[in-house]
Amino acid sequence: MARYILRRLITLIPTLIGVTFVIFMFQRLIPGDPAIAMLGEHASEENVARIREQLGLNRPLFLDREALRNGDFAGFFDTQYIRYLDRLVHFDLGNSIHRRIPVAETLALRFPATVELALLAMLIALSIGIPVGIISSARRNTPVDGITMVGSLIGVSMPIFWLGLMEIMLFSVFLKWLPTGARLSTGIVIEPITNLLLVDSVLTGNWAGFKDALQHIIMPAVALATIPMAIIARMTRSSMLDVLQEDYIRTAHAKGLVEQVVLLRHALKNAFLPVITIIGIQTGSLLAGAVLTETIFAWPGIGKWVYDAILGRDYPIVQGGTLLIALIFVGFNLLVDISYAYLDPRIKYD
């Protein structure tokens, strides 16, 4: 197991280098000049040239052939991409072009908001999706099965932006039960410990803050949970149906075991590998930042942050945020692979 984990970690290096290359190139392929975006269209050529010099945008992208012809080997590698990799090695994500503050500093403030929203959404998806999938498989080809599968199909097909707007219209505009967006109401203060507001409010005993934070997060979490909840329910049902046809399940029934014991102790454990894969992928997607959900509910997470940076051609933010997203996906895929060995002892990593 240790050798397998080590090999998987080593294979992450070329993957991440490839990710940095793709991020770097796609940003440069977008029409426009960041220096002009910073200074405005009416900026003088001198000021534009000065900003390009400060940002290193006047350097070649990958290799400086002119410097090589002049015998300047150091200048040959003094390019935009090499500078970008050098900053990453030193854990420097650079400064925002527009706001002139470190990207890592803003990322540390934004990422906990996305983590809190994603974890609550996944908790909702798991607490509903897995039981629905189990019930549907146990009641195959019955009205209960039909209703649950139709519901899951609707959950997968329903646009998140539409659901979010409907939630706001119903619960905020008409019923006035919940706020329309943001993380906290004006005047509510929660002492930061983990920067997860629900957790911090519990740790500090701030129950007024807990209630306010919960009221703000519940609608975006439900909207964000609909697609993974439907996918998990369908995958659980499909995996359970395959397992319920096995001989050991019939043996368990023949021994007179209670239906709940057969489903939960024998069938679910062996049907859970595909579900674990889906959970890992969906969790990675949620943590990567749900742009639509965060935009509709004015949620200050990394999804909306990166989206605004793309529109503003703020290279450092896009590169730092996208790299974090890639790390999340790769990390969750690694955790899913490792979890297989603990869930199914038949799997061997040679």
What 3-state DSSP class applies to 148? helix
Number of domains in the chain: 2
- In b/e form, how buried is each residue of 267-284, taking b as 16+ CB within 10 angstroms? bbebbbeebbbbbbbbbb
Same domain as 77, residue 116:
no
Helices and strands (H, E) in the chain, number of each type: 17, 0
Angle ∠(321,325,330) on CA atoms, nearest 5: 145
* Amino acid 58: pLDDT: 66
Do the domain assignments include residue 97?
no
> Do 24 and 319 meet the contact criterion of CB atoms below 8 Å apart?
yes
Q: Give 178's contacts (C-beta < 8 A, 6+ positions apart).
A: 171, 172, 215, 216, 218, 219
> Do 102 and 297 meet the contact criterion of CB atoms below 8 Å apart?
no
Same domain as 67, residue 212:
no
Do the domain assignments include residue 98?
no
Q: Which of 89, 120, 142 is the last residue of a domain?
A: 89
pLDDT tens per residue across all 350 residues of the chain:
667 677 777 777 787 778 778 777 766 666 666 666 666 666 677 777 776 776 666 666 666 666 656 666 555 556 777 777 777 777 777 777 777 788 888 888 888 888 888 889 989 999 998 888 888 887 887 888 788 888 888 877 888 888 888 888 888 888 888 888 788 888 888 888 888 888 889 988 888 889 988 998 999 998 888 888 888 888 888 888 887 777 777 777 777 777 777 777 777 777 777 888 888 878 877 776 577 788 888 888 887 788 778 777 777 787 788 788 878 877 777 777 777 766 665 555 55
| The dihedral sign for the CA sequence 340, 344, 345, 349 | negative
Do the domain assignments include residue 248?
yes
What 3-state DSSP class applies to 193? coil
Same domain as 253, residue 127:
yes
- The backbone torsions φ and ψ at residue 102, rounded to the nearest 5 degrees and listed phi first, read -60, 135
Same domain as 77, residue 8:
yes
Do the domain assignments include residue 188?
yes
> Do 197 and 184 meet the contact criterion of CB atoms below 8 Å apart?
yes
Same domain as 324, residue 289:
yes
Angle ∠(15,112,325) on CA atoms, nearest 5: 15
Structure-token pair, residue 267: 């069938």
Same domain as 275, residue 244:
yes
> Do 197 and 213 meet the contact criterion of CB atoms below 8 Å apart?
yes
Do the domain assignments include residue 105?
no
CA distance 203 to 206: 8
Same domain as 260, residue 336:
yes
Structure-token pair, residue 75: 């200048």
Report the 10 Å Cβ neighbour count for 176: 8
Angle ∠(137,143,144) on CA atoms, nearest 5: 45
Same domain as 143, residue 61:
no
Name the β-bridge partners of 95: 102
Same domain as 266, residue 202:
yes
What CATH code is carried by the domain that includes residue 309? 1.10.3720.10
Q: Which of 89, 119, 137 is the last residue of a domain?
A: 89
Maximum pairwise Cα distance, the chain: 86
Do the domain assignments include residue 95?
no
Do the domain assignments include residue 350?
no
Same domain as 339, residue 220:
yes
Same domain as 270, residue 215:
yes
Do the domain assignments include residue 99?
no
- pTM metric for this prediction: 0.77
User: Which residue range is the domain that position 311 belongs to?
Assistant: 110-343
Same domain as 142, residue 270:
yes
Structure-token pair, residue 41: 């269209």
- Whose CA is closest to 61, among 27, 19, 13, 103? 27
